[in-house]
Each structure stands twice: as C-alpha cells, then as structure tokens.
Amino acid sequence: MNKSVILIVMAVILSNCTSEVKKQAAPPVAMTIGEPVIAETIKALKEKFGENASFRIDRGVRQAASLWRETDGTPGDFTEFCNSHFVAGEAELEALYKKLERNLEIFSGYFHKMDVLLKEPLQLDGPEPGPVDLMFGSYNAAAHLTDDFFANKIAFLTALNFPYYSLKEKTQLGEKWSRREWAYARMGDQFTSRVPAGIIQNVSETLTAADTYISGYNIFMDKLIDSTGTRLFPEGLKLITHWGLRDELKSDYAAANGLVKQRMIYEVMQRIIDQSIPQEVINKGDVYWDPFANKISRNGAEVTATPEPDKRYEVLLANFRALKQMDNFTPYSPTYITRAFEDGMEIPQEDIEKLFTELVSSPVVKEVAALISQRLGRPLEPFDIWYNGFRAAGGIPEEQLTALTTKKYPTTEAVRKDLPLIMQKLGWTPSEAQRISALVTVDASRGAGHAWGAGMKNDLAHLRTRVGSGGMDFKGYNIAVHEFGHCVEQTITMNDVDYFMLNGVPNTAFTEAVAFLFQKRDLELLGIKGNDPMKEHLMALDNFWSCYEIMGVSLVDMQVWKWLYAHPETTPAQLKEAVITIAKEVWNKYYAGVLGGNDEPLLAIYSHMIDNPLYLSNYPVGHLIDFQIEQQVTGKNMATEITHMLVQGRIIPQLWMKGAVGREITIQPTLEAAGKAVEALK
C-alpha cells in the first residue's frame, strides 16, 4: 500500500490555492481578465517575439488570465506582467525551467520531511496518539505555499511560460516529445487552479483522521469464540481490518481447521460492513465475542453490546465532503472523480471501468472458479474470492513460514540490514543494491504497513511494517517485501530520473505493479524455491484471480463516488445503505454465479474505500501492468529491466507501457495466460 493519503494532499498543494476560508464550501471566483485584454496581450507579445512562440504565447496568456484575481492587480497590471515575464528564447526558457525545478524540489523535499515527522506519532508503533498528536499530524504546513506563489507571482510566471496540456493532448503529442519537452509539460501541470488554503487544510485534516481511524481498527482474534465458547485463533493475535483479516483468511487455506476459521473471519467482515460490530471489540481485548450470534461476554457472563454507530460511513462521507469543496476551484477537473482518474491516474474513469467489467465478465472466470472448486473439494463460498492456492509454494503452513521470518527479522533494524541482500537476490549488483537501499529506512508501523517515498534527491524513503515483540511474522514479512518494492521504485525514480519534474511513475498503479513483482518473490527471498513445473501457469492464475477480486471492489468504489455526487446531502446511515446496495448489485452481476451468495455485501469490506479515496483502482491496473512486466522480464535480469523501465519517469501511462513492454495496458495477456493455465492444470 502506497501512502496515497499524503499524495492526495500534496497533489492539491502543488497545483492550486488562494486565501484562507472557512471549512464550508465557497463559491468559485470569477475571472477578472476579460477576452479583450487577453486578445490585446497576446497580440502585443506576438508582435514582440514573432510567430515561433505563437502557441506558447496564446496558451500561456490564457492560462495566466484564468488564474488572475482582483487582488493580483488591474487588467493593466496583468498585461504589463505578461510583457515583462514571457520568455521566448530556448536558452532563456531552459534557464528559467532549471531555476523553477531546483526551488520546487527544495519546497517539496523539506515540507515532505516536516510531514513525515509530524505524522510519526500517528503512524508508528508506540503510545496511543492523543488529541494533540492528531492536531499536529493533520496540520499541513504547506497549505499556504501555493497561496504565496500566487502572491509573489511565481505561479503566474510558471503558468505563462510553461503551457498546460490536457490528457488528450499529452496522448496525441507526447510520443514525439523529447525528455526536456516532457519536463516542460509537467512544469505546466503545476499551476492550473487556485484552491483556497482553508480547503486544502481541511482535506489534510479529514484524510489524516480517516487514516487514523483505519490504522487503529484492530480485531483481537484470540477473543473470538464460537457458539460453544471455543477459541479458534492463537493467543495474542491482533489483526487490522481489512488487510490483516484478509491475509489471515488467505493463510487458513493451508490450516487444518482453516474452513472454520475462514467462516468466522467472514462473519466478522459482515459485522464491520453493516456496522453491527460491537464497539467493545474494536481495538479492545477485554471481552469475548461470538460474531455469529453477535454477543459479547466477560468472565463467562453476557454483557450488553453497543453497535458501532455508522462511524465507518461517517468517515467516508467526511472524505467526500472535504474533497468536493475543491470542485469549484478546479475548472479542468470539476469533480474528485475526474481529478482521481484524469489527473491522478491519467486514464479516463470510463476506460478503467470498461477494462474491469470486461475481465470480471469473461468466461475464463468460471473456468478458473471450477478449477479452484476442484482443488478445494467443495463448492465455492463468497470468501473464496481471496483464494491463494495458486502460489507455487502456497501449501506451506503459515506457522512454518512465521518461524523463519521471526528468526530472520527480530527487529526493524534486522529488516533494514537485509535490504541490500534482498536487492542482490533480485538481480541488482552489490554496489547498486547498497546505494539504493541506503536511502531506505525501516519503521515499525502502527497500521498494516505502507511506503512513503522522499520528496527530494538523497532523502530517505520510509518502509513501514509491523514487527511484533517476537519478531516479524509472515504476514508482516509479506507486506514488508511489497512495501520495499515501493521504496525501491520511489528511490530510483527520485534519484535516477533525469528531470525532477519527471520523478516518479505515471500513477500509483505502476508503483503497485513494482511492489507486486517483489511481493510474489517473497518465498524465494526466504530461500524457498518452488520446483513445480506448473509454476508459470500458477502465477498466471494467481494474477488473474487477484484481478477478479480487486476489480469488483474497485467497481463498487467508483459507483459509490458516483452515488455520492448524485446525493451530496446524504447522511452516514443513508450512505451505509447505498454502499451495501451497490456492493450487492456488483456481486449479483459478476460474482454470485461464480461464488454463490446472492445479495452478498462482501465487496464493501475494503479499508481503502474509507481512508484512501478512489485509490482502489490502482491495484487491479497494477496487477495488469505487473503481468505484462513479468512477461517482459522472464528469462532476463529483473533488476536491469525494471531499472530501464523506471527511469522513464512520470510520463503518461500508455506511453510508459509502450517503452517498457511494447504495448499499452490491456487485459488480453492476463486472460490468455489464465485460459492456457486452466487447460494445462486440467
């Protein structure tokens, strides 16, 4: 899981802002520079600099005019500013770019470091955070940064000289752009709107509160009992929702009484979704809970249970309201849905939805499901959406794997020391492994774990993972390998990409793809090498079933946000009913005929829906990218291939994919490989 809460806030900061406002929605500010002034300014600049700069003059003046307010000066001041600050010569433009790039990196890097440090009490293992920790952790020191950039005219200087290109234009023109032209285009993305600083701060506070809510949502599994009072889970097992619950359910396919455990976890998930879960069992271990009867007891006597009062949906609704406040100030992207897909992923939402529905409705789904049912020796149940038996060494009991990981990684420091060796096992040379891993630090996470890259060159990326008092269990190790994949990507694309404005990858689906490449090799990194001749087919099926699972969740996530925009005055209780209804509808359409359970709400369990708005689509797209990359690196040095791909930096997704694997993102390789694998395993 990448740290997308912070990315959302930083994306806002680096592209907008104006004066302080109250937290309620504010009306948009009307343009103060009319068309006659714009036309006259353009004409004067073209006469001064000639037709060679015609496009940049026209685009730059109009872009700057769209951002100019009365407080910035008169129309005459605007014309004078454009005449004084437009740069026509290539050498002068490059010099301006370099100065802007250098200084933006300084701001990005040091504000990022402040954010990391202020959020440590909320995100790292330690004493429970108090109100003051939340106050500091949700404070956005950079909320007024772009406000200041407009006040001192840096934002106007940038908008005037570096044109903004729409996604459609980047798609049409980008293949012929040089690296420098791509960097200039990314500079043009920086100032396209002015969101008030108060709204930015409110977004930061709201998303931090959502992250804190989810990070502290643990279930004490050793306090779960069945109708006979029997405990199924070991002493001290505490799992975060949904990640920990899901991973435990996955591991139980190899357990002796795994099916019984899975059904209990499934019941816990149902209680979380419909909010009938007792508040007394959330992050507390002083009562026993029978999730089937939904009763709690202490010292053998039943006590009154109080359901969680729709808090889950209250948090989701708060995210929507905070992010919707930006709509009036982002004319190029007038909804958060558009900002998440067109601006964030740089793939239209409609294209994403089409990809997902084509895969989840494919006939291959039923073929793979029949194979799973055959391997399990029983009809499938809804929670088999998380079946993980296609992993080549997936039959090893988790207790044995945990015995290996706790011995190998007793502390976070032990994890950190092993990072260079992990990279060498994946194909990096010793010197490169040491150079890259030296820029990664390991922290003990309060939540399930995440990766948080640096904001400037030569700063540290943070790998956060859970390490218990007895060492890192296998679940924590598996997550740590995934997060290390993020950190390696973040470090390479920050330090080795030729332009700071191109640092990173096209979107978070790409960093997820790299993380998946690492994660699927977790057993190999422990020295467990599967010799199964069907390994390649099993990997194809594992990828396909993972896509099938997470695409349904993502479809629910997208439909929920569409519903929210259609019902902006909703209440948490109404939102809960809507989310459950949407989850049931998606299930009935694409999953009930495969996994059973008509009117099943299970797709609504994902924590990402609550604390990472519209992040979920990055996972299935990441799986598709991962599979295409896996085919590209097979038989080659993975490190060399991955590095070559990563140094392309943050160009648009489909162009990046062409440079990496020779074709755009598609479901076809995944479908074809899964179909062949089913035939081979028959």
Rounded distance between C-alpha atoms, residue 204 and residue 207, angstroms: 5
Nearest one of 352, 678, 347 to 545, comparing CA atoms: 678
- Whether residue 484 contacts residue 324, with contact meaning beta carbons closer than 8 Å, is answered with no
Rounded distance between C-alpha atoms, residue 3 and residue 449, angstroms: 9
Task: Name 41's Cβ contacts closer than 8 Å, sequence gap at least 6.
Answer: 61, 65, 78, 79, 82, 83
Whether residue 659 has pLDDT greater than 60: yes
Rounded distance between C-alpha atoms, residue 272 and residue 310, angstroms: 10
Q: What is the dihedral of CA 468, 473, 479, 483, to 10 degrees?
A: 60
Task: List pLDDT tens digits, range 209-223.
Answer: 999 999 899 999 999
DSSP-H helix ranges across 88-232: 90-123, 131-137, 145-151, 154-161, 167-173, 179-188, 197-215
Residue 139's Cβ-count burial label (10 Å; 0-12, 13-18, 19+) is middle
How confident is the model over 610-628, as a mean pLDDT?
94
Nearest one of 586, 44, 574 to 320, comparing CA atoms: 574
Whether residue 337 has pLDDT greater than 70: yes
Sign of the CA dihedral 165, 170, 172, 174?
positive
More confident residue, 10 or 445: 445
How confident is the model over 315-329, as a mean pLDDT?
96
Rounded distance between C-alpha atoms, residue 506 and residue 483, angstroms: 18
How confident is the model over 140-152, as a mean pLDDT?
88
Lowest mean pLDDT among 151-155, 303-307, 318-322, 395-399: 395-399
Rounded distance between C-alpha atoms, residue 175 and residue 158, angstroms: 24
Whether residue 20 has pLDDT greater than 50: no
Whether residue 535 has pLDDT greater than 90: no
Whether residue 224 has pLDDT greater than 80: yes
Rounded distance between C-alpha atoms, residue 265 and residue 271, angstroms: 10
Lowest mean pLDDT among 55-64, 285-294, 446-455, 614-623: 446-455
With H, G, I as helix, E, B as strand and everything else as coil, classify residue 46: helix
* Banded model confidence at residue 139, pLDDT cuts 50, 70, 90: confident
Whether residue 677 has pLDDT greater than 50: yes
Q: Would you list the DSSP string of 576-595?
A: HHHHHHHHHHHHHHHTHHHH
Rounded distance between C-alpha atoms, residue 606 and residue 570, angstroms: 21
Rounded distance between C-alpha atoms, residue 651 and residue 185, angstroms: 10
Task: Name 80's Cβ contacts closer than 8 Å, sequence gap at least 6.
Answer: none
Task: Name 103's Cβ contacts closer than 8 Å, sequence gap at least 6.
Answer: none
Mean pLDDT taken over the chain: 92
Residue with tokens 């990173």: 504
Rounded distance between C-alpha atoms, residue 453 and residue 429, angstroms: 22
Task: List pLDDT tens digits, range 487-511.
Answer: 999 999 999 999 999 999 999 899 9
Task: List pLDDT tens digits, range 67-123.
Answer: 999 999 999 999 999 999 999 999 999 999 999 999 999 999 999 999 999 999 988
Whether residue 14 has pLDDT greater than 50: no
State the pLDDT at residue 3. 47
Whether residue 560 has pLDDT greater than 50: yes
* Banded model confidence at residue 394, pLDDT cuts 50, 70, 90: low
How confident is the model over 620-648, as a mean pLDDT?
95
State the pLDDT at residue 10. 44
Q: Kindly report each contact of residues 405-409 with a partner whose C-beta sits within 8 Å and lies 24 or more positions away, as own/partner.
A: 405/471, 405/472, 405/473, 405/474, 405/476, 405/477, 405/526, 406/468, 406/470, 406/471, 406/472, 406/473, 407/471, 408/471, 408/472, 408/526, 409/467, 409/471, 409/472, 409/477, 409/480
Rounded distance between C-alpha atoms, residue 634 and residue 340, angstroms: 33
Rounded distance between C-alpha atoms, residue 606 and residue 554, angstroms: 10
State the pLDDT at residue 8. 45
Q: Omega of the bond prior to 242 within 30 degrees of 0, cis?
A: yes
- % of the chain surpassing 90 pLDDT: 81
Q: Would you list the DSSP string of 595-661?
A: H--TT--GGG--THHHHSTT-TTHHHHHHHHHHHHHHHHTTS-HHHHHHHHHTT-SS-HHHHHHHHH
- % of the chain surpassing 70 pLDDT: 95
Lowest mean pLDDT among 134-148, 414-428, 647-661: 134-148
Q: Would you list the DSSP string of 278-328?
A: BGGGBS--SSEEETTTTEEEETTEEE---B--SHHHHHHHHHHHHHHTTGG
Domain ranges across the chain? 8-195, 216-274+276-309, 346-391+532-681, 398-505
Whether residue 7 has pLDDT greater than 60: no
Exposure letters 524-563 (e unless 16+ CB within 10 A, then b)? ebbeeebeeeeebbbbbbbbbbbbbbbbbbbbbbbbbbeb
With H, G, I as helix, E, B as strand and everything else as coil, classify residue 520: coil
The secondary structure element, H or E, covering residue 247 is helix 243-251
How confident is the model over 469-496, as a mean pLDDT?
94
State the pLDDT at residue 12. 46
